[in-house]
Amino acid sequence: SKLQHFREIYKKSQNPRGKTAPPPSIPTNESEEIKALEQQLAVMHSRLLEANLSHSRTASELEPPSSPATAPAAPYASVNAERFRLEGQVSALQSQLDAVREQLVRRETELDDLRERKDAQIVEKEGERDKVYRQMEDARDEFEAKVRELKDTVAKHEQIKVSAEAAVEIAKREGLAAQEALRKQIKGVEKERDSLKKQLERANKDIQDERDKVAAAAAERDSAQQTVETVRERMREASDRARELAAAQAGRQAEAFRKLLGDVQERHKTEIAAKSKELRERQGELLDAQKKLRAAFDRERQALVEKGSKELKDIRGEMMREMEEQLAHQKELMATERRLLAKRREEEVLRYKKQIEEGSSLFESLRLEFETFKSVNASLVE
């Protein structure tokens, strides 16, 4: 009955809470200690079993006879001494078994606490992983918003390009209209010049008829002829200058507008291609980084279960550093992209303002020259 009692105590010490699940992986030194205690407990059980068997055998062999008068007294004394010795050994073994049982129960309790701490750490790490995943999703959403903003900026640039092309067409039409007006005015000046020429011819004829009659009229005629020649020369020079000026201005204006339109189209095509390529590369880098982070988190979870708290801390620190570096790199890339976009936007605005100012100054100069030509023409007509 005592042996059965000790066996039940040993079974309870092996599974004190009635659990059927296998124990978790524990450090090596604790496993070896538990194995040593189990071996010691098995040795004590074997000793206790041998002591009980020896005590039973000795008691049956040396059982006193029915007639106590004929039985010797010395064997009974040796049997009692052997029994007392065996009972002392049994008591000592029982005390050792109780101590080993308590130690096993305490060790099992420590292992349960360790298992609970490991489960809590795993839950905490999974919460951190989910938090990091959410941060990655937020970063991806922000990056997609920046991509949409960049596409809107490209569309605005396209609208600005279309507006610039329309302005170029309007300026070209206005230039052609100005050239046509100048051509008409030149024709009018030529007609007036022809009429003046005819009038001068008639005046010369009248002066030739009256030369012999009035001597003073001859001096006036010479003076008038000299004045007419001066006016004629001025009209010829003004006509030539106006024709050359109109041709040169029209050629320069058309060439400048063609060059400006070609440069704007080529620059926009190059910038749009570069931005599209950069967006594709950034999206590929983001997907690769997400795949690497997911694989790394899976490895970290496996390492937590297999290798223990020390390797868990090392791997977690390494993964957190890698994650922080990735996030810092992404933030740096996004900040650099924002600065580049702002700088390019400012440069585009300044360039368009400069082009508008140059076109305005060109039109103003043409208008001033046209006004000057009108004033010269009016003075010549007078």
> Rounded to whole angstroms, how far apart are CA atoms 189 and 64?
167
User: Are 98 and 155 within one domain?
Assistant: no
Tens of pLDDT, residue by residue, the chain (382 residues): 555 655 565 565 555 444 444 444 444 555 666 677 667 767 766 776 776 676 566 556 555 544 444 444 455 567 677 767 777 777 787 787 788 778 878 888 888 888 888 888 888 888 887 887 787 777 777 777 777 877 787 777 778 777 767 766 776 677 677 667 767 766 766 777 677 677 667 766 766 666 566 556 556 556 656 766 765 676 677 567 667 766 666 666 657 666 766 676 677 677 767 776 777 787 777 777 778 777 776 776 676 667 666 665 676 677 788 778 878 888 888 888 888 888 888 888 888 788 778 877 777 877 787 788 778 777 877 7
In angstroms, the Cα distances linking 276 to 112, 154, 273, 331, 346 are 57, 10, 5, 20, 20
Task: Say what the alpha-carbon torsion angle 346, 348, 352, 357 is, to the nearest 10 degrees.
Answer: 40
Amino acid 25: pLDDT: 44
**Which is nearest to 305 in space by CA: 24, 29, 32, 30?**
24
Look at residue 366 and tell me if it is in a domain.
yes
Look at residue 22 and tell me if it is in a domain.
no
Look at residue 349 and tell me if it is in a domain.
yes
pTM of the prediction? 0.26
User: Are 227 and 295 within one domain?
Assistant: yes
User: Are 197 and 51 within one domain?
Assistant: no
Look at residue 68 and tell me if it is in a domain.
no
Task: Say what the alpha-carbon torsion angle 185, 190, 192, 195 is, to the nearest 10 degrees.
Answer: -160
User: Are 202 and 346 within one domain?
Assistant: yes
Amino acid 223: pLDDT: 66
Q: How many CA atoms lie within 13 A of 308 on its CB side?
A: 7
Q: What is the DSSP letter of 20?
A: -
Instruction: Give the type of residue at 270.
Output: T
User: Are 300 and 341 within one domain?
Assistant: yes
Contact 3, 90 (CB under 8 A): no
Amino acid 69: pLDDT: 44
Q: Is the dihedral of CA 312, 316, 319, 321 positive or negative?
A: negative
Look at residue 194 and tell me if it is in a domain.
yes
User: Are 188 and 321 within one domain?
Assistant: yes
Look at residue 302 and tell me if it is in a domain.
yes
User: Are 252 and 311 within one domain?
Assistant: yes
Q: Domain tally for the chain?
A: 2
Spell out the SS3 assignment of 67-128: CCCCCCCHHHHHHHHHHHHHHHHHHHHHHHHHHHHHHHHHHHHHHHHHHHHHHHHHHHHHHH
User: Are 107 and 164 within one domain?
Assistant: no
User: Are 100 and 158 within one domain?
Assistant: no
User: Are 196 and 343 within one domain?
Assistant: yes
At which of 99, 120, 141 does a domain end?
Answer: 120
User: Are 258 and 211 within one domain?
Assistant: yes
* Backbone region of residue 164 per phi and psi (left: phi > 0; alpha: psi in -120 to 50; beta: other values): alpha
Instruction: Give the type of residue at 31.
Output: S
Q: Which domain holds residue 307?
A: 127-381
Query: In angstroms, how far is the first alpha carbon of the chain from the final one?
Result: 149
* DSSP assignments along 180-204, one per residue: HHHHHHHHHHHHHHHHHHHHHHHHH
In angstroms, the Cα distances linking 11 to 4, 19, 51 are 11, 12, 21
User: Are 247 and 300 within one domain?
Assistant: yes
Amino acid 26: pLDDT: 42
Look at residue 21 and tell me if it is in a domain.
no
Look at residue 69 and tell me if it is in a domain.
no
Contact 242, 186 (CB under 8 A): yes
